[in-house]
């Protein structure tokens, strides 16, 4: 009997063990390898603490199916696609960068392609921004910057990126006596216009989407630049303890170059007050910024300094790694007015500066509405009309002082508290400034220009005018809210101020006219929920439209605005594309041509007139000989 019970027990244990193994099979993790023409299998990607990505490959279609399902769960938002070379072959060495990383642990979000050139670049929800696409240096391919890329849900590939073949330049960097210089930075860029002497001025050109290569010299001063875009280019070398080399323009096809570093640029100066007494220490920043955008689009200052500890004579020393037209900026000490001066620097020792700083003014007051109730979260800005550099910058300003702009704006504006009060320090006390008050629920208030005295200045109550509010939401074609969309209100076209139209003519005759651009009445951007508020001081008939990267603008909606309105819905349109190529009169392809598209009006020649209706993919546009 005992033997029978033991046998039954063993049989039951064996049954449960087999059943457990069948319900939980062991599957080894895998990712796609042989990708079909129908589209890539998603790449399993894990962002490391330094922003890099790792991939692996499965061996079967079943594995590809399993990974696709797993990736859809793990990667909610991505930019996906494929990188191809000029011959249409995949670029397995390709990689992409965007900012910031989705986990916010690294400054750069980087993803590498798989061996078939496919990539899945994970980004944060609703990401809209730029994508830097590069290939390994040995490929010699030219990198590319793609602007206004919009993320999509899931991992379905939506982009096909083609990289062009580039050239190679080998060279050496030496000092003034011909000795090779190690660890010097060498960068390539589009050719620039030069002037006799040391100063150079970039040529204003259309935005260049190509990414120009750079390298650092080895112990023998040698460097190699791969992926030089086709055509002419400019090279320049720099190192912290030297002055930069003279930028040299190289003709197309150049394969070798030598760059000579100059003596280090040294600029000294002294800060004094109105009585000639040294200011030491100065509790702020003494910065030198590039004034010609020769800094390769970098935001940081060329050099910074301080006056040292007290006691001292107020002296400072700056050692910029670029020379030419630069902006000396002295800010952030609440005792003194912000200071800016354009200067010219040269290699070697520059003429010393003596800078007189004036005492700052402090402006305080309160913002209220027409009923006398305090208005919280209003922005009170100080606009310096005589020194625009020290005023709030517009996003379209050509000067590249982006980091400094935030610092200056924060020190030159105040946000009202719950009781409507504000305080702004420092404010110039030697020249007139304008106070501007903005709040999303009221029309903007601009006070008359005046000069404030050093010390405290109480301006009392600033009364925001009553106005009309327009509230609404901007939606994508699928009905989801769109954050960061621009909503613009303009007078209707038939009531715009009349202007003389400009006729555009070519050898073949007039092709159309350019009418006066609509005068913008007011604009705003949507919040993270897609909502917007526009405030007007008076009503009228206006057109309203919304636009956002990755979408076509909404259709113009005419509003007869007499009172506040709520519930306005603006739906963006899906993007349509026109693909083609540009050739010269002999049929040779032409690179670097900028194309634009505008709505055809009555009497103008449209694309349909030129090419006929229908899909325009693959059509050619021919340029003339001049």
Domain membership of residue 317 (yes or no) is: yes
Mean per-residue pLDDT, 593-608? 63
Tell me which of 198, 233, 260 is where a domain ends.
Answer: 260
Residues 503 and 454 in one domain: no
Q: Is the model's pLDDT at 284 over the cut of 70?
A: yes
Instruction: Evaluate the CA torsion angle 197, 198, 199, 204 in order and state its sign.
Output: positive
Q: Residue with structure tokens 């090779």? A: 180
Residues 299 and 272 in one domain: yes
Domain membership of residue 589 (yes or no) is: no
Mean per-residue pLDDT, 357-372? 92
Domain membership of residue 600 (yes or no) is: no
What CATH number is associated with residue 425? 2.60.40.1120
Radius of gyration (Cα) for the chain, nearest Å? Answer: 31
Residues 294 and 226 in one domain: no
The residue count for the chain: 626
3-state secondary structure labels for all residues of 362-401: EEEEEEECCCCCECCCCEEEEEECCCHHHCCCCCCCCCCC
Q: pLDDT grade, residue 67 (50/70/90)? A: very low
Q: Is the model's pLDDT at 181 over the cut of 60?
A: yes
Residues 253 and 277 in one domain: no
Q: Is 2 helix (H, G, I), strand (E, B) or coil?
A: helix
Tell me which of 219, 236, 260 is where a domain ends.
Answer: 260
Higher pLDDT, 193 or 154: 154
Tell me which of 162, 185, 214 is where a domain ends.
Answer: 162
| DSSP codes, 249-270 | EE-TT--EEEEE-BPPEEEEEE
Q: Is the model's pLDDT at 303 over the cut of 80?
A: yes
As a whole-number percent, the residues of the chain with pLDDT over 70 amount to: 67
Domain membership of residue 255 (yes or no) is: yes
Mean per-residue pLDDT, 255-274? 93
Residue 416, beta-bridge partner list: none
Per-residue pLDDT at 602: 62
Q: Is the model's pLDDT at 353 over the cut of 80?
A: yes
Q: Is the model's pLDDT at 496 over the cut of 50?
A: no
Residue 223, class by beta-carbon neighbours within 10 Å (0-12 exposed, 13-18 middle, 19+ buried)? Answer: buried
Domain membership of residue 579 (yes or no) is: no
Number of domains comprising the chain: 5
Mean per-residue pLDDT, 329-354? 87
Per-residue pLDDT at 399: 35
Q: pLDDT grade, residue 124 (50/70/90)? A: confident
Residues 346 and 385 in one domain: no
Residues in contact with 226: Cβ distance below 8 Å, sequence separation at least 6, in sequence order:
137, 138, 139, 140, 166, 168, 213
Residues 137 and 92 in one domain: yes
Mean per-residue pLDDT, 351-374? 93
State how far the Cα of 583 lies from the Cα of 619, in Å rounded to an integer: 10
Per-residue pLDDT at 151: 85
Per-residue pLDDT at 117: 93
Q: pLDDT grade, residue 448 (50/70/90)? A: confident
Average pLDDT, the chain: 75
Residues 241 and 198 in one domain: yes
Residues 208 and 236 in one domain: yes
Mean per-residue pLDDT, 158-162? 90
Higher pLDDT, 218 or 537: 218
Residues 207 and 277 in one domain: no
Residues 550 and 517 in one domain: yes
Domain range for residue 121? 46-162
Residues 74 and 114 in one domain: yes
Domain membership of residue 30 (yes or no) is: no
Q: Is the model's pLDDT at 557 over the cut of 60?
A: yes
- Cα-to-chain-centroid distance, residue 523: 21
Q: Is the model's pLDDT at 104 over the cut of 80?
A: no
Q: Residue with structure tokens 């050619």? A: 620
Least confident of 124-138, 223-237, 390-404: 390-404
Domain membership of residue 18 (yes or no) is: no
Residues in contact with 380: Cβ distance below 8 Å, sequence separation at least 6, in sequence order:
365, 367, 413, 414, 415, 416, 422, 424, 435, 436, 437, 462
What CATH number is associated with residue 74? 2.60.40
Domain membership of residue 6 (yes or no) is: no
State how far the Cα of 270 lies from the Cα of 315, in Å rounded to an integer: 4
What CATH number is associated with residue 542? 2.60.40.10
Mean per-residue pLDDT, 66-86? 71
Residues 239 and 309 in one domain: no
């Amino acid at each position: 009997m005992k033997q029978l019970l033991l046998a039954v027990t063993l049989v039951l244990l064996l049954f449960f063990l087999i059943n457990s193994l069948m319900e939980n099979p062991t599957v080894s993790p895998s990712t796609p390898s042989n990708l079909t023409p129908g589209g890539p299998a998603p790449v399993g990607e894990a962002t490391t603490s330094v922003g890099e990505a790792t991939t692996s490959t499965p061996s079967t279609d079943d594995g590809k199916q399993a990974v696709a399902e797993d990736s859809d769960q793990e990667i909610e938002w991505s930019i996906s696609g494929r990188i191809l070379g000029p011959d249409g072959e995949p670029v397995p060495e390709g990689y992409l960068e965007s900012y910031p990383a989705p986990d916010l642990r690294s400054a750069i979000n980087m993803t590498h392609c798989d061996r078939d050139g496919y990539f899945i670049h994970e980004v944060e929800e609703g990401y809209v921004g730029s994508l830097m696409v590069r290939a390994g240096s040995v490929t010699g391919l030219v990198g590319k910057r793609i602007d206004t890329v919009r993320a999509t849900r899931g991992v379905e590939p939506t982009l096909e990126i083609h990289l062009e073949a580039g050239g190679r330049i080998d060279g050496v960097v030496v000092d003034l006596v011909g000795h090779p210089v190690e660890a010097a930075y060498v960068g390539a860029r589009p050719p620039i216009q030069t002037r006799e002497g040391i100063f150079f001025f970039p040529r204003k050109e259309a935005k260049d989407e190509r990414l120009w290569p750079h390298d650092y010299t080895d112990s023998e001063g040698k460097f190699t630049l791969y992926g030089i875009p086709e055509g002419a280019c400019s090279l320049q070398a720099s190192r912290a303890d030297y002055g930069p080399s003279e930028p040299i323009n190289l003709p197309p096809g150049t394969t070798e170059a030598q760059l000579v570093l100059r003596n280090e640029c040294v600029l000294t100066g002294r800060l004094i007050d109105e009585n000639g007494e040294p200011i030491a220490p100065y509790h702020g920043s003494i910065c030198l910024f590039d004034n010609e955008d020769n800094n390769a689009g970098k935001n940081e200052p060329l050099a910074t300094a301080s006056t040292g500890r007290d006691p001292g004579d107020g002296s400072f020393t700056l050692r910029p790694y670029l020379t030419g037209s630069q902006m000396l900026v002295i800010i952030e000490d609440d005792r003194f007015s912000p200071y800016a001066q354009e200067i010219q620097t040269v290699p070697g020792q520059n003429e010393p500066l003596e800078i007189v700083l004036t005492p700052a003014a402090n402006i305080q007051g309160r913002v209220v509405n027409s009923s006398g109730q305090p208005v919280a979260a209003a922005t009170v800005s100080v606009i310096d009309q005589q020194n625009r550099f020290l005023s709030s910058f517009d996003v379209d300003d050509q000067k590249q002082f982006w980091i400094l702009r935030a610092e200056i704006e924060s020190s030159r504006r105040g946000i009202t508290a719950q009781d409507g009060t504000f305080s702004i320090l420092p404010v110039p006390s030697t020249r007139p400034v304008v106070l501007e008050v903005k709040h999303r629920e009221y029309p903007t208030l601009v006070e008359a220009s005046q000069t404030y005295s050093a010390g405290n200045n109480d301006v009392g109550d600033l009364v925001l005018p009553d106005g009309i509010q327009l509230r609404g939401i901007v939606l994508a074609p699928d009905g989801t809210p769109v954050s960061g969309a621009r909503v613009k209100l303009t007078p209707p076209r038939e009531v715009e101020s009349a202007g003389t139209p400009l006729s555009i003519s070519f050898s073949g005759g007039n092709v159309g006219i350019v009418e006066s651009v609509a005068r913008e009445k007011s604009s705003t951007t949507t919040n993270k929920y897609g909502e917007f508020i526009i405030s007007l001081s008076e009503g009228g008939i206006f057109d309203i439209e919304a636009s956002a990267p990755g979408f076509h603008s909404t259709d113009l909606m005419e509003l007869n605005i007499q009172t506040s309105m709520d519930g306005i819905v603006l739906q963006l349109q899906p993007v349509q594309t026109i693909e083609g190529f540009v050739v010269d009169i002999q049929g040779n392809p032409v690179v670097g041509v900028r194309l634009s598209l505008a709505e055809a009006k009555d009497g103008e020649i449209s694309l349909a007139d030129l090419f006929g209706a229908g899909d325009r993919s693959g059509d050619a546009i021919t340029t003339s000989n001049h």
